[in-house]
Structure 1
Amino acid sequence: MKTILLSAFLCSAVLFPSFAQTTLLKEASPRKIEVAGFAEMEVVPDEIYFSISLREYYEDEKNQKGKVIISTLEKQLIKAVADAGLSKEALSISGMGGYQNYVDKKKKPATFLESKQYELKIDRPDKLDVILSKIDSRGVQYANVARVDHSKKEDFKKQIKIDALKAAKDKAEYLLAALDQKLGQVLEIRELDENVFYPQPMLAKSNMRAFAQAESADMVQESDVQYQKIKISYRMQAAFEIN
């Protein structure tokens, strides 16, 4: 009997300090508040990428005479880009192709007309009108906005994260103030999500023959209307100690 009681006593002596230590650890955990902050920014794109397609054509389409070749149209485009004050790097080839052209396949054999696609980087959409006005409109198949971006997008992202984190801190402060509590040091910071909205690609000019009446770039009116903005937003979560 004495042996059993002694064993029980020793077991209690071992377990009790462990239990006490666990209790002390729980009590030592800091009181905290977790909040999320949100911030967003809208910026006008300063990098607009147009997809332009040039294709060969005939001066006399009915009789298929006076063929204007793709190299002639390309020279017009390169010169127009240079006249607009853009660097050579602003224009690049993105694809090549062609199609069969004929007036009456019973009388005329089909002929192959070459086409060529380019990507043009500009900072304002109205510059495209000026450039395309210097190219024979019959040689321009289409011009679409392929994508947009901003040269300082990464800098904007950093600033928005900072603003979202500050918003989280402000929220924690006024919530604790309502309970007569004060904000302590930061315990944890986490990014919850990132959202970057890019304007949808749009057709710049669906019918390039509209430029046929423009004899010079002076006749093309520049627009004061801004392109749709890029929207960048962040949500940040932070945990703070309660003093």
Structure 2
Amino acid sequence: MKKVFLLGYLFSVSALFPAFSQVKYEQLAQLPKIEVAGFAEMEVVPDEIYFNISLREYFEDEKNQKDKVVISTLEKQLIKAITDAGLPKDALSISGLGGYQNYTDKKKKPATFLESKQYELKVSGPDKLDVIMSKVESRGVQYANVSRVDHSKREEFKKQVKIDALKAAKDKAEYLVASLEQKLGKVLEIKELDENLYFPQPMFAKANVRSLAQAESADAVTESDVQYQKIKISYRMQAAFEIK
């Protein structure tokens, strides 16, 4: 008899909870409330600039294909330049390997395969790249260009922008309710509507990387002239508040 009573009690409770939840939801839906959206945006100058650098082998005597400068020699120059610039070794990483055929005078001599190697270098500003590349033999540099930009405190900024957007929503709700001579009550619901992260490439007023093919020494390095587009972080938050 006790087992039957217990089962009947559990059945009654389980049937009651959905009904209770529905009543609670309907009560909340009937509360006088206001729903608003708040927007916030932040612009920051990137402090992490990633460069793609490609080194390739070449011949000191190009015409006769003699005295080849191998990729390991060029890589040592690059690593030493990075160390001399005060950057950690892990600022440089290998992103690719390849090569190309040197088709000079096929009739007299067969084509020679020359190795190439691609790297990604992280620096805090483009001026570092000018100093570094001035210490690498220019004939061994195929290209050096910006691949992407970022900020070391991006996640912190995202949190702050979300908070600012939510505060903006509350401020809006307060002055709208106050205009009706009412007061804002507790928050009932919060939603994140959208996220917008814009990480542009730097806009160059003039080339920030010197002409590698023409530069012969570190004396040729000039100060970089770069105009940055700032990173934009924006959020839109929605909040519902009770009206007292």
TM-score, normalized by length of structure 2?
A: 0.83
Separation in structure 1 between the aligned mates of residue 27 and residue 115 of structure 2, nearest angstrom: 77
Alpha-carbon shift at residue 106 of structure 1 (Å): 1.8
Alpha-carbon shift at residue 206 of structure 1 (Å): 8.8
Separation in structure 1 between the aligned mates of residue 54 and residue 34 of structure 2, nearest angstrom: 57
Whether the aligned pair in 2 keeps the contact of 1:100 and 1:110 (CA below 8 Å) is: yes
Q: Superposition pairs for residues 1-243 of structure 1, below 5 Å?
A: 29-200=30-201, 205=209, 207-210=211-214, 212-213=215-216, 215-216=217-218, 218-223=219-224, 225-243=226-244
Separation in structure 2 between the aligned mates of residue 72 and residue 237 of structure 1, nearest angstrom: 58
Listed as ranges, the gaps of 5+ residues in structure 1 are: 1-21
Count of aligned pairs between the two proteins:
217
Separation in structure 1 between the aligned mates of residue 230 and residue 188 of structure 2, nearest angstrom: 36
Q: Which runs of 4+ in 1 moved over 4 A?
A: 25-28, 201-207
Separation in structure 1 between the aligned mates of residue 122 and residue 51 of structure 2, nearest angstrom: 6
Q: What's the counterpart of residue 9 of structure 2? A: none
**Counterpart residue type for residue 30 of structure 1:** L
Separation in structure 2 between the aligned mates of residue 224 and residue 139 of structure 1, nearest angstrom: 25
56-65 or 67-76, larger mean C-alpha shift: 56-65
Separation in structure 2 between the aligned mates of residue 189 and residue 28 of structure 1, nearest angstrom: 15
Alpha-carbon shift at residue 205 of structure 1 (Å): 4.4
Separation in structure 2 between the aligned mates of residue 195 and residue 224 of structure 1, nearest angstrom: 29
Separation in structure 2 between the aligned mates of residue 232 and residue 64 of structure 1, nearest angstrom: 53
Alpha-carbon shift at residue 227 of structure 1 (Å): 2.8
Alpha-carbon shift at residue 222 of structure 1 (Å): 2.8
1:55-88 alpha-carbon deviations (Å, 9 max, x no partner): 0011121221221111110010000000110001
**Counterpart residue type for residue 45 of structure 1:** P
Q: Secondary structure at the match of 1:223?
A: coil
Shift in alpha-carbon separation, 1:103–1:166, aligned structure 2, 3 A: same
Alpha-carbon shift at residue 225 of structure 1 (Å): 3.9
Q: Secondary structure at the match of 2:240?
A: strand
Listed as ranges, the gaps of 5+ residues in structure 2 are: 1-22
Alpha-carbon shift at residue 229 of structure 1 (Å): 1.5
1:155-201 alpha-carbon deviations (Å, 9 max, x no partner): 00000000000000111111112222211111100000001001137
Q: What's the counterpart of residue 7 of structure 1? A: none
**Counterpart residue type for residue 170 of structure 2:** K
Alpha-carbon shift at residue 42 of structure 1 (Å): 0.8
Identity level (%):
77
Separation in structure 2 between the aligned mates of residue 221 and residue 207 of structure 1, nearest angstrom: 11
Q: Secondary structure at the match of 1:208?
A: coil
Q: What's the counterpart of residue 19 of structure 1? A: none
Separation in structure 1 between the aligned mates of residue 48 and residue 29 of structure 2, nearest angstrom: 54
TM-score, normalized by length of structure 1?
A: 0.83
Shift in alpha-carbon separation, 1:82–1:206, aligned structure 2, 3 A: closer
Bigger-Rg structure (1/2): 1
1:191-218 alpha-carbon deviations (Å, 9 max, x no partner): 00001001137886495214x24x22x5
Separation in structure 1 between the aligned mates of residue 80 and residue 135 of structure 2, nearest angstrom: 9
